Amino acid sequence: MFNNKFFSIISPYKWKLLLVILVNAISLFFSIATMLLIEPFVKIFFQKELTGLSVTGEQVIHFLEYFIDISVLQQSFLALVILLIIMFLLKNIFLFLTQWLLAPIRSDVIRKLRNQMYHKVLLLPISFFSSQKKGDVISRAVNDTQEIEFTVLNAFQMMINSILTLIIYFIALFIMSYQLTLFVLILLPLAGLCISFVTRNLRKQSLEAKNRLGTLFSHVEETISGLRIIKGMNAQQHAQQIFERHNEAYAQTQMRIKRRADLSSPMSEFLGVTVVMIVLVFGGYLVIREQSSLTAALFITYIALFSQIVNPAKNIGTAMSNFKRGISALDRIYEILDSDEVINNIENAINIEAFQHEIEFRNVTFAYEEIPVLKNISFHIKKGEMVALVGASGAGKSTIADLLPRFYDVTSGAILLDGQDIRQYDIDHLRSLFSLVSQDIILFNDTIYNNIAFGMENVDEEKVIAAAKLANAYSFIEKMPDGLYTNIGDRGLSLSGGQRQRISIARAILRDTPILILDEATSAIDTESEKLVQDALQKIMQNRTTLVIAHRLSTIQHAHKIIVLEAGEIIESGTHESLIALHGRYSKLVQINQFQ
């Protein structure tokens, strides 16, 4: 039932788990000891004597002889009562210690799984999230990890405790009556097979349910992100219908799982009671037989002990059901953890500390999932130059920008930085040379200070303020309720588009990298904000090598080189003046742009 993935997450705790098992065994020892007191207790209470005891009963009496005179029945009776209370107390103390030792193990397993998931998300290529639903990834990182604690770890704990209980109790039962115990060992596996039949296919159904829940999460995430469009298009009812359809499919799958899982518990109880009744009949027969060593008092003790294994046997069936449900969550988590990172450092990667000469795209071709995006792209960017990429949407401009910091790797050809293929460089060192200002402004639910200094540690406030001033952002920041330390909410939506963009520019200024990538940085803001943003961009571009993806062509007229792309190919290249003189594609784009 347990698989390699499960053992991989609990193997670091094997010694602690052994301690848990030992403490649990001690608790069970005291539990059995309380049951063994029943036989002498019954003898005193009903027969007023302590003769004719079983081997275990004799051992209890020998123990009492160290403390009291067992010939005085009143003293023996009182001693048995006190001993019973002490045994129950010790049993529960060690039972509590078992739970106390297990609690940090369970918490640590889930903590590490979540950390591994988040770390993997940071390592996976951007292309992974183009094919995966973000809501489903979130569901795996949060919901599925919690499911593992509620089902898999609970089932494991229940299974270990129940199996240990059965082993220890069966040893005691075998000593008391091997005939009756052998009979029980034939009945219990038959009951286990019946429960296993009921719980089959639970893992497959649970996996289906979790995939449906991931789809539900994705729809909610898309709804919140696109709420403005949904309301603007008056499409609330349409979005609601999609959600209800997904929710209904998930609810139906969960109902089937719950019905099957819930059946295991009453069936386990029914089979357990049936086994007890059969044991009573067979045991009663053995007591009646004159040659049997099983006395009535010992049989009562045996039944009391046997009744204690009904719940553990039932719990094994429940644990099997829960484990099969929960292991599907572990499968989904490992689908992420085992995903190919694609963008990896080579062995003995080069640490690059500075950009010295030029960037070269040499016959670069790139395809995303076999769909061609760039075809045989070649151009140079010398240090200190501003190079602009223009062209229609889908021409490949953003892809070229994404290839530079290795968000993707080229399909063929090479990108050289100072004459060295960028795949030879250490990824972290390579990316430390770039700053990115995008039309898709990424801010976090944090303070303005932390958003500007994002990814940097122990940054002086004066440097953050200086960066904000250069980005024309400090004028509105100082008017905020807490200045730099104002929390800007989810994705910074409490700010205007121009304000958010100027904060992202301040972030790039503070990083002070030699290469700057501007991906249509002024395309989504109003005219007044554009002037402030454009002024900030002019400041940041000074003495830097800049790759600009242009939306408004008026902003790139002074570029050292303008590259015109169409369908993933370079069709024109030159300065603004030389391209206008060609009267080609760029010239037409400028004319169209002037009328917008």
What does the pLDDT look like over 479-519, one tens digit per residue?
A: 888 888 888 877 777 787 778 888 888 888 888 888 888 88
How many CB atoms are closer than 10 A to CB 289? Answer: 10
CA separation for the pair 500, 536 (Å, rounded): 13
CATH of 358-594, one of 3.30.460.10, 3.30.110.70, 1.20.210.10, 3.40.50.300: 3.40.50.300
Reported as a single tens digit per residue, the pLDDT across 514-532 is: 888 888 766 555 555 667 7
- Is residue 128 predicted with pLDDT exceeding 80? no
Between CA 120 and CA 125, with CA 123 as vertex, the angle to 5 degrees is 115
* Stretch 271-291: mean pLDDT: 69
Q: What is the 3-state secondary structure (H, E, C) of 510-540?
A: HHCCCEEEEECCCCCCCHHHHHHHHHHHHHH
Most confident of 89-98, 110-119, 357-366: 357-366
- Mean pLDDT in residue range 43-63: 60
The secondary structure of 198-239 as a DSSP string is HHTTHHHHHHHHHHHHHHHHHHHHHHHHTHHHHHHTT-HHHH
- Positive/negative CA dihedral, 311, 313, 318, 322: positive
Q: What is the mean pLDDT of the chain?
A: 77
pLDDT for position 363: 93
Q: Considering only 44-48, 299-303, 424-428, 562-566, which range has the smallest mean pLDDT?
A: 44-48
pTM of the predicted model over 0.95: no
**pLDDT computed for residue 423 by the predictor:** 92
Nearest-Å Rg of the Cα atoms of the chain is: 36
Both structure tokens of 154: 């609970």
pLDDT (tens digit, 9 = 90+) per residue, 293-321?
Answer: 666 666 777 777 777 776 777 677 667 76
Greater pLDDT, 361 or 196: 361
Q: Structural domain boundaries of the chain?
A: 4-337, 358-594
Q: Which has the closest alpha carbon to 1: 269, 316, 271?
A: 316
Burial (CB < 10 A; 0-12, 13-18, 19+), residue 338, is: exposed
Kindly report the number of other CB atoms within 10 A of residue 294's CB atom: 20
- Read off the pLDDT band of 197 (50, 70, 90): low
CA atoms of 263 and 321, how far apart (whole Å): 10
**What six digits make up the tokens of 168?**
């220890």
Asked if residue 414 has pLDDT above 90, the reply is yes
- C-alpha–C-alpha distance, residues 41 and 61, integer Å: 11
Per-residue pLDDT at 198? 57
Of residues 431 and 312, more confidence is placed in 431
Q: Report residue 392 as tokens.
A: 């229609």
Q: In what order do the strands lie in the sheet with 545-549?
A: 434-438, 515-519, 545-549, 386-391, 561-566, 569-574
CATH architecture of the domain with residue range 4-337:
Up-down Bundle (1.20)
